[in-house]
């Protein structure tokens, strides 16, 4: 018998309540029942996004929501600033170039955070940027950028601030309105505790004003169509929605409301800290910064002499724990423990145990139980 622990930063584990909700008989989307559900989830999303703005959503993965934030804000030739220190920052750049934007790239090494002061300098140089694209939680490295500081800079400029919070929304603090983030995009399969298949975008008034001028062609991802549906007396979507995922979202939002945002972020901070401390106690080296903001993903340098494929396969096939490998230029050099969403201390303890067992089996020297003991101490201190 094998128990499976999916410890990747997307897809993530799904609570039974949410799975059961998704298994309900389908309802028709042009009915009062669906309108009520739809209106309720839009309100629930505002709470998690910490915004008063409409939150639009699409039947797409997170990249669809990212693409929507390029095609709805941009016009060919617009100058935009893209900040990147990982695979998903690079995706903003690829999207901007795909649609003919003139994208200036502020690029940092994988594992480094974006420096807000560089954004201030770039915006002050008179280039007339229309938008600044950043990544909140850079899933490929575990870095969580200082969106609050970036928002404080961008708000005084013409540019709108767009943050990719696909893995960070609901696991690392992000105060959309208070921090002046004009557009936040997210996806369903991370801290929202759902299967893959929904992409979200919250849009501020400043962003809507830019969207009014946008000339990039769009149809399915057109924000105006989505907003018109939300604003109807009986709210609905312009196209057939992912009905079962919307029902599941309703259940997930209920769980998040019941837990409360403060507890939810405290739980994630504890898991991040326990993971980092355990890794250090095992004598391994963190790749993600040792920073309490990094509460979605913990990334770890592959110990010398240990093969990435062997380690992760052993952890998965023998101990049932699936962690993620590195992406892009980090492939083979790091592994990543995802803890965004339906996770608590028990998942972290099991993951660290499996890591210790697998490393010992691969001949890597370590003191048995050192990582688990340290994680336990942290959870005790955090009151988890
Ligand atoms: C930060 C970030 N942005 C964008 C994406 C892309 O989302 P999707 O794979 O759902 O299209 C991911 C997925 O891992 C992500 O973590």
Give the tens place of pLDDT for each residue, 239-271: 999 999 999 999 999 999 999 999 999 999 999
> Per the domain annotation, does 4 fall within a domain?
no
Ligand 1 atom nearest the C-alpha of 167 is: 16
List, for the chain, all residue ranges whose pLDDT scores fall below the cut of 50.
none
> Per the domain annotation, does 2 fall within a domain?
no
The per-residue pLDDT for 284 is: 98
Ligand 1 atom nearest the C-alpha of 61 is: 10
Q: Assess contact for 286 and 298: CB atoms under 8 A.
A: yes
Same domain for 284 and 241 = no
Give 127's contacts (C-beta < 8 A, 6+ positions apart).
79, 81, 104
> Per the domain annotation, does 11 fall within a domain?
no
Q: Assess contact for 347 and 339: CB atoms under 8 A.
A: yes
Same domain for 226 and 284 = no
> Per the domain annotation, does 35 fall within a domain?
yes
Q: Assess contact for 273 and 292: CB atoms under 8 A.
A: yes
DSSP character string of 284-334: --BSS-S-TT--SEEEEEPPTT--HHHHHHHHHHTT-EE-EE--GGGTTTE
Same domain for 342 and 194 = no
Ligand 1 neighbour 164 (Cβ under 6 A): yes
Ligand 1 atom nearest the C-alpha of 196 is: 10
Ligand 1 neighbour 88 (Cβ under 6 A): yes
> Per the domain annotation, does 3 fall within a domain?
no
Ligand 1 atom nearest the C-alpha of 10 is: 14
Ligand 1 atom nearest the C-alpha of 135 is: 1
- The DSSP code for 184 is E
Q: How far is the centre of ligand 1, averaged over its atoms, from the C-alpha of 217 (Å)? A: 23
Q: Which two tokens stand for residue 350?
A: 């099991």
Q: Assess contact for 312 and 329: CB atoms under 8 A.
A: no
Same domain for 58 and 207 = yes
Tokens 């969580």 -> residue: 144
Asked if omega into 171 is within 30° of 0 (cis), the reply is no
Same domain for 286 and 209 = no
Ligand 1 atom nearest the C-alpha of 137 is: 1
The per-residue pLDDT for 69 is: 99
Q: How far is the centre of ligand 1, averaged over its atoms, from the C-alpha of 296 (Å)? A: 13
Q: How far is the centre of ligand 1, averaged over its atoms, from the C-alpha of 87 (Å)? A: 9
Q: How far is the centre of ligand 1, averaged over its atoms, from the C-alpha of 1 (Å)? A: 32
Same domain for 248 and 281 = no
Ligand 1 neighbour 58 (Cβ under 6 A): no
The per-residue pLDDT for 60 is: 98
The per-residue pLDDT for 255 is: 98
Ligand 1 neighbour 135 (Cβ under 6 A): yes
Least Cα distance to 63 among 191, 162, 199 occurs for: 199
Q: Assess contact for 48 and 253: CB atoms under 8 A.
A: yes
Q: In whole angstroms, give the CA distance from residue 11 to residue 366.
A: 30
Q: Return the ∠ at Cα 294 (arms to 321 and 10), rounded to 5°.
A: 40
Q: Cβ-count burial of 102 within 10 angstroms (0-12 exposed, 13-18 middle, 19+ buried)?
A: middle
**Residue 311 belongs to domain spanning:** 260-382
Same domain for 319 and 244 = no
Q: In whole angstroms, give the CA distance from residue 324 to residue 318.
A: 16
> Per the domain annotation, does 5 fall within a domain?
no
Same domain for 138 and 59 = yes
* Boundary of a domain, candidates 258, 283, 318: 258
Q: How far is the first Cα of the chain from the last one, in angstroms, to the nearest whole number? A: 29
Same domain for 252 and 264 = no
Q: Cβ-count burial of 104 within 10 angstroms (0-12 exposed, 13-18 middle, 19+ buried)?
A: middle
Q: Whose CA is nearest to atom 7 of ligand 1?
A: 62
> Per the domain annotation, does 220 fall within a domain?
yes
- The DSSP code for 363 is T
> Per the domain annotation, does 247 fall within a domain?
yes
* Boundary of a domain, candidates 207, 231, 258: 258
* Boundary of a domain, candidates 202, 231, 258: 258
Ligand 1 atom nearest the C-alpha of 88 is: 3
Least Cα distance to 184 among 103, 93, 68 occurs for: 68
Same domain for 147 and 203 = yes
Select from 66, 88, 114 the residue to mutate for testing ligand 1; criterion: most ligand atoms less than 8 Å from CB: 88
Q: How far is the centre of ligand 1, averaged over its atoms, from the C-alpha of 365 (Å)? A: 35
Same domain for 179 and 323 = no
Ligand 1 neighbour 298 (Cβ under 6 A): no
Provide the number of structural domains found in the chain.
Answer: 2
Count of C-beta atoms within a 10 Å radius of residue 32: 8
Ligand 1 neighbour 94 (Cβ under 6 A): no
Which CATH number do you get for residue 180?
3.40.640.10
The per-residue pLDDT for 190 is: 98
Same domain for 176 and 298 = no
Least Cα distance to 84 among 163, 155, 154 occurs for: 163
Ligand 1 neighbour 141 (Cβ under 6 A): no
The per-residue pLDDT for 126 is: 83
Ligand 1 neighbour 60 (Cβ under 6 A): no
Which CATH number do you get for residue 270?
3.90.1150.10
Q: Return the ∠ at Cα 190 (arms to 276 and 378), rounded to 5°.
A: 25
Point out which residues pair with 57 in neighbouring strands: 200
DSSP, collapsed to helix, strand or coil, labels residue 342 as coil
């Amino acid at each position: 018998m094998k128990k499976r622990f999916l410890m990747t930063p997307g897809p993530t584990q799904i609570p039974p309540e949410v799975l059961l909700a998704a298994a309900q008989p389908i309802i028709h989307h042009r009915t009062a029942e669906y309108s009520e559900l739809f209106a309720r989830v839009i309100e629930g999303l505002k709470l998690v996004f910490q915004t008063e703005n409409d939150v639009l959503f699409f039947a797409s993965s997170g990249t669809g929501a990212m693409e929507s934030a390029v095609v709805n804000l941009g016009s060919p030739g617009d100058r935009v600033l893209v900040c990147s220190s990982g695979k998903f920052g690079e995706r903003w750049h690829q999207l901007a170039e795909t649609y003919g934007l003139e994208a200036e790239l502020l690029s940092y090494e994988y594992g480094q955070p974006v420096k807000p002061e560089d954004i201030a300098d770039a915006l002050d140089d008179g280039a007339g940027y229309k938008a600044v694209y950043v990544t909140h939680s850079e899933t490929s490295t575990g870095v969580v950028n200082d969106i609050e500081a970036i928002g404080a800079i961008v708000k005084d400029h013409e540019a709108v601030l767009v943050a990719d919070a696909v893995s960070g929304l609901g696991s690392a603090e992000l105060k959309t309105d208070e921090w002046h983030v004009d557009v936040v995009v997210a996806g369903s399969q991370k801290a929202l505790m759902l299967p893959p298949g929904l992409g979200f975008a919250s849009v501020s008034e400043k962003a809507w004003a830019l969207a009014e001028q946008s000339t990039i062609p769009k149809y399915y991802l057109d924000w105006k169509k989505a907003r018109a549906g939300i604003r109807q007396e009986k709210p609905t979507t312009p196209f057939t929605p992912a009905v079962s995922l919307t029902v599941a979202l309703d259940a997930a939002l209920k769980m998040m409301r019941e837990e409360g945002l403060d507890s939810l972020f405290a739980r994630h901070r504890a898991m991040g800290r326990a993971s980092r401390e355990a890794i250090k106690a095992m004598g391994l080296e963190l790749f993600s910064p040792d920073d309490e903001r990094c509460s979605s993903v913990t990334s770890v340098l592959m110990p010398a002499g240990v093969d990435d494929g062997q380690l992760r396969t052993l952890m998965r096939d023998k101990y049932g724990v699936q962690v993620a490998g590195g992406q892009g230029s980090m492939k083979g050099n790091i592994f990543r423990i995802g803890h965004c969403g339906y996770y608590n201390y028990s998942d972290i303890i099991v993951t660290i145990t499996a890591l210790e067992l697998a490393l010992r089996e691969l001949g890597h020297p370590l003191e048995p139980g050192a990582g688990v003991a340290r994680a336990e101490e942290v959870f005790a201190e955090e009151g988890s």
